[in-house]
């Protein structure tokens, strides 16, 4: 393995790609930098730009000892270009170019394909920051506020990672795309973000935890698939991004678990055994389990749409080209070419759900989505363990894959979370049982009162089991009063 794990801090842009000796790209990124800072101040976290936040910053790309923690004001965070170490002798693990040495430059015939994948990935990073920009003012604790800001600055760094690839490998087209990434805005009517889930609002902290548990997990799956790429700089970029992405999913999964834990504790304390006694549970100032299930239904279904249609020639083309692989490609036992293979899918046709076998090459989105569902089911098990430990009779479940879909074979179907086909009238009548209603959202919003005293937490969420960087329970993660 080539030794390129150390991070250079001798330029305005920390990096481990020898930017100081690549003057053209360094100048291009330094020109892009002021626009990024302006974007961050305009559309990043609102109200906390001057606060000192206890953040981690990467100093090494090795898995052990790769980050340092310190107080920093977010606009002064050292965003940079960090790629996982280069693997000597790495070959392309799939597609028509299987076994060939990986590419260090963009192959001309795949230039457009690679640029689009990088732009789509890059577009999701600032989008999530924009979606979450107002959450700091209702943070349930300084611990949670700090985690929000850590997710935000790292999503910002992931944007930098994609912009570096565009600036270095795609010339004037790449520079133009890099500038466009700062012009689109989540939820904008005129210039929205490219993927639907990234134009949804994140109005409350339960939504934030769900987003990081479900949508960031989609990010993990996409990054794992891109980490298999025959274009080695993209592979190395995504491999390091996955190190940071793991923390984002932890924030979400643990956040939802802490909400569930608090609800169960308060139910037991009040002697309420029926989880569907919603009005009494809400009077306790916590979020009832059926409403949490509705939020799971919403965020899971939105995240499934991010994988695209079940049958996709685009996915087949990127795989055959050796540009984007499957989740953990090298661990799969097949020929990694897939010309003669099939994959099981569900199809909604003539008002029925049909099991069928489709060409494996065309079903790559479906396979990645199935891997996502298996990965997500682990979180559901952990949440259910918390409910079981509280001895409350309720089980969280992932809804059926055809529920509430806007993309793919189920987009025109009215299907319940259990997989029952419904009439349009029944769907309209019952959807408030499946998805959060206006009243549900208003109730959750009513709980969003900020708590900024070190070591204290809002009444609707439990304290974490461990502090960040092994800090004590009353550690001041954000210096609000004396920054």
d(CA 216, CA 124): 10
Residue-wise burial string across 408-437, b where 16 or more C-beta atoms lie within 10 A, e elsewhere: bbbeebbbbbeeeebeeeebeeeeeebbbe
Q: What is the pLDDT along the chain (483 residues), one digit of tens a residue?
A: 444 667 888 788 999 999 999 999 999 999 999 999 999 999 999 999 999 999 999 877 776 657 889 999 999 999 999 999 999 999 999 999 999 999 999 999 999 999 999 999 999 999 999 999 999 999 999 999 999 999 999 999 999 999 999 999 999 999 999 999 999 999 999 999 999 889 988 999 999 999 999 999 999 999 999 999 999 999 999 999 998 898 999 999 999 999 999 999 999 999 999 999 999 999 999 999 999 999 999 999 999 999 999 999 999 999 999 999 999 999 999 999 999 999 999 999 999 999 999 999 999 999 999 999 999 999 999 999 999 999 999 999 999 999 999 999 999 899 999 999 999 999 999 999 999 999 999 999 999 999 999 999 999 999 999 999 999 999 999 998 654
| Phi/psi at 231 (5° precision) | -85, 100
Helix or strand or coil: residue 216?
helix
d(CA 40, CA 3): 33
Tokens of 370: 């199935």
Task: Look at residues 428, 448, 397 and name the one whose alpha carbon lies nearest to residue 290.
Answer: 397
The reported pTM is 0.95
The sign of the torsion formed by the CA atoms of 327, 329, 333, 338 equals positive
- The pLDDT of residue 445 is 98
Q: Measured between alpha carbons, how far is residue 108 from residues 114, 170, 261, 435 in Å?
A: 10, 10, 53, 46
Tokens of 452: 């900024």
| Residue carrying the six token digits 């002021």 | 34
Strands (E), 209-316: none
Cβ–Cβ under 8 Å, residues 460 and 140? yes
Q: Give first-to-last CA distance, the chain, whole Å.
A: 43
- The pLDDT of residue 289 is 98
Greatest C-alpha distance within the chain: 68
C-alpha of 356 from chain center = 30
What interhelical angle do 23-43 and 171-180 show, nearest 10?
10
d(CA 91, CA 75): 39
The full set of domains in the chain, from first to last, is 19-479 (1.10.620.20)
Q: How many CB atoms lie within 10 A of CB 212?
A: 29
């Amino acid at each position: 393995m080539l030794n390129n794990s150390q991070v250079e801090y001798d330029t305005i842009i920390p990096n481990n790609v020898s930017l100081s000796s690549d003057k053209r790209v360094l100048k291009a990124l330094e020109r892009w930098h002021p626009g990024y800072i302006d974007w961050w101040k305009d559309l990043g976290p609102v109200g906390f730009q001057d606060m000192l936040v206890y953040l981690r910053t990467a100093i090494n790309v090795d898995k052990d000892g790769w980050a340092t923690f310190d107080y920093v004001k977010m606009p002064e965070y050292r965003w940079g270009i960090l790629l996982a170490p280069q693997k000597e002798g790495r070959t392309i693990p799939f597609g028509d170019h299987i076994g060939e040495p990986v590419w260090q430059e963009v192959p001309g015939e795949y230039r457009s394909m690679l640029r689009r994948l990088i732009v789509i990935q890059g577009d999701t990073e600032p989008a999530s920051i924009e979606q979450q920009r107002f959450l700091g003012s209702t943070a349930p604790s300084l611990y949670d506020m700090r985690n929000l800001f850590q997710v935000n600055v790292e999503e910002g760094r992931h944007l930098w990672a994609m912009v570096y690839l565009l600036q270095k490998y795609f010339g004037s087209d790449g520079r133009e795309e890099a500038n466009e990434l700062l012009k689109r805005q989540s939820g904008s009517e005129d210039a929205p973000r490219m993927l639907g889930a990234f134009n949804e609002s994140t109005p409350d902290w339960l939504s934030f935890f769900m987003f990081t548990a479900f949508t960031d997990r989609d990010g993990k799956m996409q990054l794992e698939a891109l980490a298999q790429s025959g274009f080695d700089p993209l592979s190395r970029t995504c491999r390091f991004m996955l190190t940071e992405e793991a923390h984002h999913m932890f924030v979400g999964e643990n956040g939802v678990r802490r909400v569930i834990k608090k609800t169960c504790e308060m139910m037991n304390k009040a002697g309420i055994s029926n989880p569907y006694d919603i009005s009494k549970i809400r009077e306790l100032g916590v979020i009832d389990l059926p409403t949490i299930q509705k939020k799971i239904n919403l965020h899971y279904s939105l995240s499934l749409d991010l994988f695209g249609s079940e049958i996709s020639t685009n996915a087949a083309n990127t795989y055959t080209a050796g540009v984007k692989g499957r989740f953990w490609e090298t661990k799969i036992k097949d020929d990694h070419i897939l010309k003669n293979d099939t994959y099981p899918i569900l199809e909604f046709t003539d008002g029925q759900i049909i099991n069928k076998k489709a060409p494996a090459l065309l079903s790559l989105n479906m396979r990645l989505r199935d891997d996502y569902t298996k990965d997500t089911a682990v979180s559901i098990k952990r949440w259910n363990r918390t409910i079981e430990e509280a001895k409350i009779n309720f089980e969280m479940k992932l809804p059926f894959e055809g529920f509430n879909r806007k993309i793919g074979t189920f987009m025109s179907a009215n299907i319940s979370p259990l997989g029952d086909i419904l009439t349009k009238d029944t769907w309209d009548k019952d959807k408030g049982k499946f998805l959060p209603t206006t009243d549900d959202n208003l109730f959750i919003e009513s709980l969003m009162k900020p708590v900024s005293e070190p070591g204290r937490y809002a009444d609707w969420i439990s304290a974490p089991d461990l502090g960040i960087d092994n800090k004590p329970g009353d550690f001041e993660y954000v210096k609000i009063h004396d920054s």
